[in-house]
Structure 1
């Protein structure tokens, strides 16, 4: 009787296509087993007084005997002998195994698995060797293991699958060398990318397919399918898309929404997929009655009503509820009331599709934060993560605060993944908060190009690091060159000075201009430190100081006497102190369809240096989405004024020109201008400006994946006011200008591209109109 097996095919082929794992497993691991011959009527017993082992080189005989588990003189049945054989084979150390009973001697003949000489990849072009090498567990100078080779082939195939190459095949093969060594080669056929040929929805009534496609991470293949990466079909991405779609509906009051399915069908050629998402929307609900009650003795619920921002008739959103709960719990902490919990009780009114919200103030469990453990951060300092918590060790445990801290950590942008979970501590009243992060690159180096009708072609160079030295600090350097300008800047931001929500900013810039449409040049240098901090939920205040030096040079002899006089002033040193207040309800993200932004700033120059003025600027923006969020309406009103003092007259480097404020006019194309017979009728700018812009962005009916939208705008405004009017010979009055136009906006993978087609409705005879404008900026 002989029991034998051969673990690798004679020609050295280890497996076939990864898409047939069963066949590969047989070929890799189980190859050929020669079963013993059995006589039907009799069972055979064996007893060996001696065991002889042959063929082993690296594995000693005692190890093989331990796998066999056979003792001298032990009576063995045929089944037990076969079990011994299986144990030796399953050790994975031997290519072939033979058990040869020879009277009272058992002869075990083995051929050891070969040593791996080299591990190589062939046929891979899209995925480079260094990326795939990290997936391979088979290493040179290790014993070859067929199961490991199979797992390596599967891992490589999975890497291609995540890139959308579902037809990729990976075949591991062996090349025999001398001295029982082999080369392991993974032959890769990459196949084509499986693109999302069609992305459609079933069951959606409130929102169109085009609107819902904007929500998903998966994109439909379009005009730039060779550049866009998100139109590649990735099965794992569908689960994320289902959650994104559900969150989208929930935030808009569809509390019963269900994303029933998201499936992708692959074409017969395996080069395209068709994704269908089935959704059951339900009905949209709004906030009904809002009330607050207290179950805590001595706690007056009326004190908490004032901090609520929830109003009847508002579209329901989970974020609205969470935000109001956070306000009330924060008020409780300010009043020194720990362990106060606010639980929302929601009552559904089917008849009028409203939700009554009752906030219940109750006493929570006395649980404390024992410690906060942070793992996974190799570069980012612990303190950067810890300061995202409003809770410290020893503080009362608040599950809602921990969830919000997790969101703040993810919002930093430093981590590819961040998990924050609470686990039981050393005692029943203790909790340990575990933070597990996975860092990602936070720096970027970019070289780019830009073009516009106004400034021509230009180059840009930029370096930025959002997590400098792991401290959460931001450093940036930008240099932009145009046909007539050079603009370079340096920025540094410490987001949490002294461990508080206090931003320290430092900025510096150097700008030069050689305007093609003006007969003078300018040079501007400035350094400005600043502090920024919150003053309300949506409001922030910035305090700053600036030192600057502006110079006007090369004024043409045929230019206005105003410019000649300003050049003669040289480069007076200026310094200013100022502040900016901003209110932006987008900070809370509570209403995805409406936004209101308000900015107000003042800068007082003259505490040092020769420049003396007070500059005041304001901006108000209102934005809303209508028609199932497919059309965006926007209104912007802004203005500015410079009031000089101490005998100082403003210069062109101080004044406003309305560039970019009123479309339809060339740069320096409107405002006060010297028309008193000089050859060069340069625009002089004005000490004041006021503009109102009304815009609409809307779809053009093209596939969403093209990224092309339309726009329309109406701009109204003026630039006026000079300190030096040459005895009144220059008209610096506020003369209204207006323009109307259409836009084509294209979000290309290379950068945002915008076409503006404008028509000036009201202008002065000396204004310079511009009917077409094209801008594009790209980084690579």
Structure 2
């Protein structure tokens, strides 16, 4: 627009208006227009000043057209106001809903129309589609004039296709293959389910996160000089795909050299703190090992009452032998306190759930390392897709404020499983779980498993911080029935079990529990074992028990391996009809080899139950071996009465099993998410107190309760599908008894919502 003036005048001419006339305004007050113009009555104004007034009125964004017309001593300011927005429409959008787009744009109904705002809104919509991986999206704003100085604004959207990551490649990587590094990234190549999986779409904001993942991966394995020097993202000509290349500079792998400790705090003995390092020279360097050593030393200092003590790792680099000497120095840190902890972004999760992951409270000495550890614990909850913890100066130089910003993610899960047996046929398992119930960090789970012969129902509730302390309270209730499930009898089990679990070491936890159950054995056919017929009936069981668990998987210094050990005992006899001691033990080791592309697992498990007093154990007390050796049905192996026509399974007082398996790539494109596995199981269930079976003649008795080893081999297929991880097992029994029942395959799958 240009301002017009009549009559024409020279640019050097000055004007002085005794009267200002405003024309064309409907909603905007005359004084507001005069204020924007900046011209007062009687004020001398040059031609340039009139031009400046015109520019100010145009820049206000209120007027579609502006004219300044000098008429003798009168200045006429003639305006045409921008119309009012009647309605805002979004057309052509399918992937993003109208209500989501309405939150993005500033143009709204009953507000003043602004061309600049509409163009900016169009760009915002394009950016929103880019964040969703649709870089080919185009938005064309349309304005439709209506009566009464109103307009309809329509954003015509062409969403385009998802810009997928067609290929991810690496340069400079020697220690680890492209396949392994691709598994580290959060971004994935487009695969079979490219229309469903969101991680195969290109999102620019995710690139920096992937760079950090690669850096952390290498450094945790001793590559202290690793650098991701650049990431190139080349778009295809059709703008529907990207080729990503990560440039890696690995450097050399370092190991720990000499480990020493010095104290610059008079009252602290360095030799005592040296014992807390627990790092062996010669092992691959790991920042996690250094962090754990520092944490142990600072905790020891606190136990000794030494405040504001910091442990500084002083690193000496030895390039000749590629080692790092670590000297832990105990120093006196600055006297800084935590003023407060601010938490933002948690719309569902309560503040207390986040706050309890801090070992520091308001008023405590500020420990940067403890704050970082708290951030890791918050992320480990699994409630948040992102959790940033930062500190800033507080109200004074000796105070800091800790800011916690989180982004919540779905914490519920729905699982569905399937199995198949020769006798039992198909079975279905449904699991409904919520790990952040009502935003309190509590776990609530319900499972239902059913087949043609049995049904299992279980309810579990877990309070991870009972009484505001690191005490995990657990309550379980169950009701299960079986009707001739691979047997010629029926059972009914129901019970409850409250428990409390607490830590006793960094990796060790102890659970104590009470269990009450009422179990019934019934519907035993006349052709079944006399042992089972003598055991028929209903009994109450009341027991106290404990479980000790040692698990290094989340705190292992070497990320390539982890170990789990579990030992539990239950003593029944505190009321009820059963007096017995049951013991179970499990040891599991996992190791990644061959550039960490192959995972090896080994498990050793066993158990025993002994009757006390005058109690006679029944099949409800003994072990069935279910799931201990793959390739066999429920009650498919173990002690059996061969005298009975039904050749009934009886269960055993003892069981032992060893399971070895591997998981490895199959050579398929990794974006398919399909890997393979092999397993070998061996084990047995044996031992009975009552071996006088059908017929009653000890000479002719054919009750087999010996320790007859069974073994099987099998093939597994692991498939990471859009609805969750799937595992498919095909098993073949190698060593078995003639009366054993085999299970050829089973299938399990779970998903999150």
CA distance in 2, matches of 1:37, 1:52: 15
Q: 1:381 to 1:544 in 2, by over 3 A?
A: same
Cα displacement string for residues 131-161 of structure 1 (whole angstroms, at most 9, x for unaligned residues): 2222122221111122322232222212211
- Aligned partners of 1:375 and 1:225: how far apart in 2? 34
Contact 1:260-1:278 at 8 Å conserved across structures:
yes
Is the counterpart of residue 667 in structure 1 residue 637 in structure 2?
no
Match of 2:172 in 1: 203
2:544 to 561, 566, 577: 577
Aligned to 2:575: 608
1:700 Cα shift? 1.2
For the Cα contact (< 8 Å) 2:712–2:733, is it kept in 1? Answer: yes
Alignment match of 1:686 (pick from 641, 644, 652) = 652
Contact 2:262 2:329 in 1 (8 A): yes
Correspondences of 1:52-63 after superposition (within 5 Å)? 52-63=21-32
What are the equivalent positions in structure 2 for 1:26-425 lying under 5 Å apart? 33=2, 43-425=12-394
- Tell me if the contact between 1:198 and 1:274 (Cα under 8 Å) persists in the aligned partners: yes
Distance 1:101 1:452 in 2: 93
Deviation at 1:591, TM superposition (A): 2.0
1:701 aligns with 2:667: yes
What RMSD in Å do the two structures reach over aligned CA positions? Answer: 2.2
More deviation, 262-271/185-194: 262-271
CA distance in 1, matches of 2:527, 2:624: 21
Structure-2 separation of matches of 1:467 and 1:520: 40
Q: Compared with structure 1, are the counterparts of its residues 589 and 51 closer, same or farther at alpha carbon in structure 2 (3 Å cutoff)?
A: farther
Matched, 1:633 2:600: yes
Aligned 8 A contact 1:165 1:192 in 2: yes
Q: Quick one: structure 1 residues 108 and 352, their matched pair in 2 at CA, closer, same or farther if it must change by over 3 Å? A: same
**Cα distance between partner residues in 1 of 2:114 and 2:622:** 76
2:584 counterpart residue number = 617
**Residues 1:516 and 1:503: Cα distance change in structure 2 (over 3 Å):** closer
Tell me whether 1:450 sits opposite 2:418 in the alignment. yes
Q: Secondary structure at the match of 1:302?
A: helix
Quote the Cα distance in structure 1 between the aligned partners of 2:425 and 2:239. Answer: 45
CA apart distance, 1:335: 0.7
Matched, 1:760 2:727: no
Which position in structure 2 is the counterpart of 1:546?
A: 515
Distance in 2 (alpha carbons) for counterparts of 1:508 and 1:221: 44
| CA deviations over 1:253-288 (Å, ceiling 9, x no partner) | 111101111222111112221111111111111111
> CA contact under 8 A between 2:188 and 2:671: conserved in structure 1?
yes
Are residues 778 and 520 of structure 1, via their aligned partners in 2, closer, same or farther at CA, if it must alter by over 3 Å? farther
- Give the whole-Å Cα distance in 2 for the aligned partners of 1:401 and 1:291: 22
TM-score of the superposition, structure 1-length normalised?
0.91
CA distance in 2, matches of 1:740, 1:38: 102
Give the match for residue 695 of structure 2: none
Distance 1:721 1:447, change over 3 A: closer
Match of 2:714 in 1: 741
Deviation at 1:236, TM superposition (A): 1.5
Deviations 1:47-84 (A, max 9, x none): 32222111101101111011101122323222211110
Contact kept? 2:462, 2:474, Cα under 8 Å:
yes
SS at 1:175 equivalent = strand
Mapped to 1, the partners of 2:51 and 2:142 lie a distance apart of 30
How far off its partner does 1:456 sit? 4.6
**Counterpart in 1 of 2:724?**
751
Q: Deviations over 1:462-503 (max 9, x none)?
A: 443333343322222232333333222111111112221111
SS in 2 for 1:615: strand
* Alpha-carbon distance between aligned partners in 1 of 2:13 and 2:201, rounded to the nearest angstrom: 62
CA contact (8 A) 1:453 1:775 kept: no
Note closer, same or farther for the CA distance 1:36–1:287 as it changes in structure 2 (3 Å cut).
farther
Retained in 1: the 8 A contact 2:456–2:478?
yes
Q: Deviations over 1:572-623 (max 9, x none)?
A: 1111100000101113143210111100000011111002211100011111
2:467 aligns with 498
1:372 is displaced (CA, Å) by: 2.8
Is the contact between residue 261 and residue 278 of structure 1 (CA under 8 Å) also seen in structure 2?
yes
Cα distance between partner residues in 2 of 1:416 and 1:646: 55
In 2, are the aligned partners of 1:450 and 1:777 still within 8 Å (CA)? Answer: no
1:730 aligns with 2:703: yes
- Once residues 382 and 770 of structure 1 are traced to their aligned partners in structure 2, the CA distance between those partners, rounded to angstroms, is 49
Unaligned runs of 5+ in 2: 693-697
Change in Cα spacing, 1:523 to 1:447, as seen in structure 2 (3 Å) is same
| Structure 1 position 443, deviation (Å) | 4.3
1:190 Cα offset (Å): 0.7
Match of 1:713 in 2: 679
Shift of 1:39: 9.9
For the structure 1 residues 718 and 114, does the alpha-carbon distance in structure 2 shift closer, same or farther, using more than 3 Å as the test?
A: same
Q: Please state whether the residue corresponding to 1:652 is helix, strand or coil.
A: coil
CA distance in 2, matches of 1:371, 1:126: 42
Aligned residues: 745
**What's the secondary structure of 1:690's corresponding residue?**
strand
Alpha-carbon contact 1:449-1:778 (below 8 Å) kept: no
Query: Relative to structure 2, which stretch is displaced further, 573-582 or 170-179?
Result: 170-179
Deviation (angstroms), 1:405:
1.4
1:515 deviation in Å?
4.3
2 CA distance for matches of 1:733 and 1:87? 99
The 1:435–1:743 alpha-carbon spacing in structure 2 relative to 1, beyond 3 Å, is closer
Q: Check whether the contact 2:418–2:747 (CA below 8 A) recurs between aligned residues.
A: no
| Inter-partner Cα distance in structure 2 for 1:773 and 1:732 | 27
- Greater shift after overlay, 340-349 or 69-78? 69-78
Per the alignment, residue 27 of structure 1 pairs with none
Change (3 A) 1:303 1:175: same
- More displaced 10-residue stretch of structure 1: 159-168 or 737-746: 737-746
Measured at CA, do residues 651 and 154 of structure 1 come closer, stay the same or move farther in structure 2, by a change above 3 Å? farther
SS in 1 for 2:104: coil
Of stretches 411-420 and 703-712 in structure 1, the one that deviates more from structure 2 is 411-420
Distance in 2 between the 1:95 and 1:260 partners?
Answer: 51
Bigger shift: 299-308 or 323-332?
Answer: 299-308
| Cα distance between partner residues in 2 of 1:771 and 1:370 | 63
SS of structure 1 residue aligned to 2:641: coil
Query: Contact 1:696 / 1:713 at 8 angstroms: preserved in 2?
Result: yes
The CA deviation at 1:644 is: 1.2
How has the CA–CA distance of structure 1 residues 533 and 374 changed in structure 2, closer, same or farther, with 3 Å as cutoff? same
What is the CA distance between 1:532 and its match in structure 2?
0.3
Deviation at 1:751, TM superposition (A): 3.2
* DSSP-derived class of the 1:401 partner: helix
**Alignment partners' CA distance in 2, 1:466 and 1:779:** 11
C-alpha contact 1:449 1:457 (8 A) present in aligned 2: no
